[in-house]
Chains A and B, each alone.
Chain A
Amino acid sequence: MSENLERDVAAGERFERALLWRALVIVLVIAAVVATRALWG
């Protein structure tokens, strides 16, 4: 495997690992909005 391809594969794996954390942040943001709405209401 060429060096460039190895680098792309490694970058891709890092990106995939980050997806889960991003999803968790999104869920937390939405939960915060809903909670704020509930408290406001």
Chain B
Amino acid sequence: MPAVQWILSVFVLAGAIPLLTGCYQSAVAALHRFGRSVPAGPVVEPRVAVVVPAWNEAAVIGRTIDTLAGLEYPPDRLRVYVVDDASTDETPEIVVAKAREYPGRVFHLRRERGGEGKAHTLNHGLRCIHAEGWFEAVLIIDADVIFTARSLSMMVRHFREPRVGAVTAYIKEGSRPANYLNRFIAYEYANAQAGARRAQNLLGAHACLAGGAQLIRRASLEAIGGVIDTSSLAEDTVTTLNIQLHGARVVFEPHAIVWAEEPRGIPALWKQRLRWARGNVQVTRRFHKIWLRGRRVGRLGSVSFALIWFSTLLMPLFMVTASASLVALFLMDRGVSLELFRTLWAVNLAAYLFVTLSTFSFDPQAARTSWVQGFAFPGLISLTIILYAFDPPFADAHGGDLIRHLGVDPSSGLGTALLLFAYVWLAASMLAAYAMKLLAGLRWTAWMARPLLYVVGFGPLLCSIAAAAFVEEARGTALVWEKTEKLGAVGDLA
């Protein structure tokens, strides 16, 4: 085989890297029991200042405060500081009323000039609690999250180990009634949090404290300057990496459950995830000195951590190069391209099954409600291609090869077109997802979002957002912190 075909073959097979990395994470997560356990010792109950940034959160803030006040944690060791970012709705009145209801435990901090974003709001609160000097740990949360009764106690246990600088919880999708998108997100969180963060516990390096549940030891907060970074859209990731670069460990506690309300429509999801994805691109640039730098930067410099980070960040690139290489190979040698295509998708099938079933095992509760969305995560088109590529002889035995079954001669023009469609789908699915987002935002076509999401897939949608993030960063689009609207849809789950 000529050298150029070898190179193209490598590009095709590299298309499986993201899913294989997902397999690796799932396999490591399954070994979580062999990770560091919490050392035995006396009960640790630090004085915790909960900082809640709130901008027009009237629909959710009252309940959030009630839940925090009801946590199974010593009341004299927990204070809630709601940083009201110049809200124009009833948020201030509600918080003031709650401060009266829980005297000495709930505080209303008002910013008269707001709208600068979450990090600025948080910093106002952090400066206030620093000035007060009471706290031993700070818990940064979102205004809509609902902590389960013992979640904070589960988190602070990890502070028995002096090197632990921050702990995060398992944020679960809690909108009730959950719509189709909420169910996709519930599955995604079971994978990306319950699975991936368990693996990161074991690998000793964390990419991100969940923004809605960041418990940070005072010493670690002060080590990174006492405030949150305001120059990026991924302030929680910057905090997480900085804490680890200052020598402290970050831990994920999978059994500290925190419920959150997530977007109910694709346009809102796109807006939220584009902010996250752009933040990740910025973080990649800013922390360029940690990637693959070995022990000099602790476990952050490991190959495993780089693999996990870049397989997600560069997923659009893997998809495009795999598709383009398949088409180029098709033009050179149709037989070789077909073999590689089948190999790529057969590997993808095994990886898909392992990742999906593992994700169900990480959160059986999410699996019960979202198993359909879990299986449909890659989209029905990709699943059809997977089955076709994996086992045409099997298909033959049960009614014929798929293309033949459709009454199409594989060597005809239409057969070739169908084959090329399968080749380019990895990349084209991102364009389809972008078109789906546009249709979901239009009045007369919004109804199409739900069926299209099952057909195109949630995975390609995330991939498309990642690609859009690169485009926005390259164009230098202004960094606007757009809040995700919360309606108070979290069910009675605490």
Minimal Cβ-Cβ distance residue in B for A22:
B361
Chain B contact residues: over half helix, strand or loop, or mixed? helix
Specify which chain A residues have a CB less than 8 angstroms from the CB of B354 in the assembled complex. 26-27, 30
| Chain A residues touching B, range | 20 to 34
A23 touches B361 (CB 8 A): yes
In the complex, A2→B150 CA distance in Å? 10
CA distance A27 to B27 in the complex (A): 10
B31 at the A/B interface (Cβ < 8 Å)?
yes
Bound CA–CA A27/B358 (angstroms): 10
B220-262 interface with A by 8 A CB criterion: 254-255
- Tally B residues with Cβ within 8 Å of A: 28
CA distance A24 to B391 in the complex (A): 24
**Contact A12 B255, beta carbon cutoff 8 Å:** yes
Whether A30 contacts B393 by the Cβ 8 Å rule is: no
Q: A41 near B393 (CB under 8 angstroms)?
A: yes
- The residue on A at minimum CB distance from B32 is A16
Q: Which of A1-26 contact B (CB under 8 A)?
A: 1-2, 4-5, 8-9, 11-13, 15-17, 19-20, 22-23, 26
Closest to A16 in B: B33
B129 at the interface (CB under 8 A from A): no
Is A35 an interface residue when CB atoms closer than 8 A count as contact?
no
Does B32 lie within 8 Å of A26, measured CB to CB?
no
Task: Produce 1/0 per residue, B30-45, CB < 8 A to A.
Answer: 1111000000000100
Judge whether B397 is part of the interface by a CB distance below 8 angstroms: yes
Which B residues have a C-beta under 8 Å from some C-beta of A?
A: 26-27, 29-33, 43, 72, 149-150, 153-154, 157, 254-255, 350, 353-354, 357-358, 361-362, 390-391, 393-394, 397
9 further A-B contacts with Cβ under 8 Å, apart from A12-B154, A23-B26, A29-B353, are A1-B153, A9-B154, A15-B255, A19-B32, A19-B362, A20-B33, A26-B361, A29-B357, A40-B393
Residues of chain A whose beta carbon lies under 8 Å from any beta carbon of chain B: 1-2, 4-5, 8-9, 11-13, 15-17, 19-20, 22-23, 26-27, 29-30, 33-34, 37, 40-41
